[in-house]
Amino acid sequence: MSDEGAPSGGSRTATAYARLVVALRWPILIAWVAATGYVVLEVPEPAAGPSDLISLVPKHAPALTATRRAAEAFDVPFSAEVSVVERDPRGLSVQEQRRAVNQALAIDRPSGGGDPPFLVLPVTNTAGAVPGSRESSTGVISYFTFPPAMSVEGRMQAVRHYMADARRAGAPVVGRTGILPAQLHEGTLVEDALPYVEAATVIMVALVVGLMFRSLGAPLVTLATVGAAYLMALRATDRLSDATGLTLPDILKPLMVALVLGIVTDYTIFYASTMRRLVTSGVPRVEAARRATAMITPIVLAGGVILAASLAALQVAQLSFFRAVGPGLAAAVLVALAAAMTLVPAALAIFGRALFWPSLSPGDDGSEERGIAGLRARVARVQARRFAGLVMVAVCLAVLAVAAWQVPNMQLGFTSIHGLPSDAQERRAANAVGRAFAPGMLAPTQILVEGSGVGDDAALARLQAAIRRQPGVAAVVGPAEQLAGSDVAAFRQGDAARYIVAFDSDPHGAAAIDDVSRLRDRLPGLARSAGLASAHISVAGDTALADDTISAMETDLMKVAAVVLVLNFILLAAFLRALVAPVLLVLSSALSVAAAMGITAWVFQTWLGHGEITYYVPFAASVLLVSLGSDYNVFITGLVWQEARGRPVREALARVAPRAAGAIRTAGITLALSFGMLAIIQVRAFWEFAFAMATGILLETFVVRPLLVPALVALFGEAAGWPGNRLQEPEPASAHGD
């Protein structure tokens, strides 16, 4: 038998590395088994991250500053972080409403002259109490304000005791709600679902790899490598956290599951598919392992480094959440890369053809595989022609552009509450607030007015009336109510006044965020018209914080995207020793990501009617998709560049495309399914993220890599390798042979 049509070897460095790894195959296998066993048996579980998730809010957000200033200016603080909702659609009697108020006042009243442990502010929808309420005398919402030093667990325990006391008194308590309990519930759902995500992903990997190779050994090696890489990655991120003080949030553990399992499986497929072609061509086991390792390792190394560098680039973000996530995921990728580059080649050298049993029996010469490859080769020769490349480029670009058309219409919002399952008490209580009051009463916005002019009662009343007329505003309470006879300095104290504004939509949603952004822009003009030109005005509350966070994230997205694209270009240029091809590859990946985001926006905003996308989903998905796109582009172009050392680039493309088709398709499907498994988590943000990632990866798998990238190479030919000489037109075949 011959090895005609088998992949050629790699560079001298890659060949030397392959010889070393294959020679040390048994020590490598034993070392990984020992290290994995040590992690499982001896290393304690990583300490749990903070129960209050790493904040996505910028540290210097104007809304945070306004919140601190309001707390300093008023003796009666106001916060909507946690609230308890009571509602009876048949109506609450005067006695029931009085009981709710008295329960809150009993907590508010200091005992023994000391400061109260926390405050509760009850608000009823009795006619006229809250303008804009949809019902009358049916609901009570009690807002909790806690001292900063109080732990999250202490806060939630106090809320549970409060609800238990209310229920014992016969109150129709719907439940607790607010951004804090919603985030905690979200984190619990993620932790509870993590074992199912892991199990489902492992089963999926075994099935896909087993079906591709029609064997038992290949999926076993894949799962062994995946398991070792994942366990070591968890340990590596834990050590990184200890060394840097950065903590990978528990909510992102499923992301690490999908990422590590997906890329290790892909790299294993690249190695194993190459090994299979070699052994079916008659190459002996050890030599086949050396040649497969020499050819695939540079490609895997380049792809893994690009992915890790792109994730590490999240350090340039201003949001602490992403600065913590980036290094942790980059470390996980490097561990996975190390496992793929050592353990997989060692297993190939040890087991050889046995990995592909029973589909590849000892006497099998691979004729069936070569028959399929012949058909693919005939298709690839047509695809490699310049005119066909031009047509294919035009079609692919049109398809991706149409898919990306919805990106400018994407609306971003916070979905921590309404993204929970429909039976979650946080969501049910929020819906009850929307029915009994205005939806914005779930988390009202504070407008703080400070400085000269605050003593002008008429000016404050004019400003309140002007705020009430703004689009999206359902209700405003403020100094006008205090002037009507209240003795509580709730809305005006010293040289400060404040207004509590409820919008007519979900205060964490895109519509309310747009409303508060527009109101912020108009407030200086409204104040001047009301006679408060010299006053300082600021806006606090969840909606304003969401506006600040989304603005910061949009800035981060532009900054991180620029860094990631530049890194991808530089690393691709170094790997391919060219400038033209990296530009084409990076632009094709960027367009593919835009198409995935456009499809995601249409599905969730329009078709499913959610009206918005969770604000961090486009950011995280875009960074990962660009990086993973370049990772796979390295595979196809790396093979073409290797093959083009001895033949014209279009001929090299025609030879490589059919060889790589099966591995690319299986790797892409596996990675898409790995991220798709995140939809097991019953949280809307994970559904959106899983869909965006799976869509983007499938676009790369079935449009960009098999169609657009080869078409671009066919269209540009040797010019794709400019200014390097790796794609220079070779001398005639008579001089070199074929």
- The pLDDT tens digits for 566-579 are 998 999 899 888 99
- The pLDDT tens digits for 396-441 are 999 999 999 999 999 999 999 999 999 999 999 999 999 999 999 9
- What per-residue confidence (pLDDT) applies to 3? 44
Give the up-direction half-sphere exposure of residue 525: CA atoms within 13 A in the CB hemisphere: 6
Q: Alpha helices, DSSP H only, in 313-450? A: 320-351, 367-383, 386-403, 425-436
Closest C-alpha among 75, 74, 71, 148 to residue 117: 148
Alpha-carbon torsion 570, 260, 420, 130, what sign?
negative
- 3-state SS of the chain: helix, strand, coil percent to 5? 65, 10, 25
For residue 602, pLDDT over 90 is answered with yes
Q: Alpha helices, DSSP H only, in 486-579? A: 510-530, 542-576
For residue 183, pLDDT over 70 is answered with yes
- Mean pLDDT value of segment 337-364: 87
- Whole-number CA gyration radius for the chain: 31
DSSP 3-state of 43: coil
Tell me whether strands 445-450 and 139-145 are parallel, antiparallel or unpaired.
unpaired
- What per-residue confidence (pLDDT) applies to 92? 93
- 490-516 burial string, b = 16+ CB within 10 Å, else e? bbbbeebbbbbbbbbbbbbbbbbbbbb
- What per-residue confidence (pLDDT) applies to 93? 92
- Mean pLDDT value of segment 726-733: 54
In this predicted model, which residue has the larger pLDDT, 438 or 379? Answer: 438
Q: How far is Cα 505 from Cα 437, in angstroms, rounded to an integer? A: 11
Give the pTM: 0.89
- What per-residue confidence (pLDDT) applies to 1? 40
For the chain, what percent of residues have pLDDT higher than 70? 88
Alpha-carbon torsion 283, 286, 289, 292, what sign?
negative
Q: How confident is the model at residue 147 (pLDDT cuts 50, 70, 90)?
A: confident
Report whether 268 contacts 225 (CB < 8 A): yes
Q: How far is Cα 667 from Cα 340, in angstroms, rounded to an integer? A: 14
For tokens 């590490």, what's the residue?
Answer: 312
- What per-residue confidence (pLDDT) applies to 452? 74
Q: How confident is the model at residue 257 (pLDDT cuts 50, 70, 90)?
A: confident
- The pLDDT tens digits for 458-489 are 999 999 999 999 999 999 988 877 644 444 56
Q: How confident is the model at residue 368 (pLDDT cuts 50, 70, 90)?
A: very low
Closest C-alpha among 13, 294, 364, 53 to residue 191: 53
In this predicted model, which residue has the larger pLDDT, 600 or 2? Answer: 600
User: Residues with Cβ < 8 Å from 728, sequence gap 6 or more?
Assistant: 718, 721
- CATH numbers and ranges of domains, the chain: 12-45+183-415+547-736 (1.20.1640.10), 82-177 (3.30.70), 444-540 (3.30.70)
- Mean pLDDT value of segment 165-172: 95
- What per-residue confidence (pLDDT) applies to 488? 52
- What per-residue confidence (pLDDT) applies to 40? 82
User: Residues with Cβ < 8 Å from 725, sequence gap 6 or more?
Assistant: none
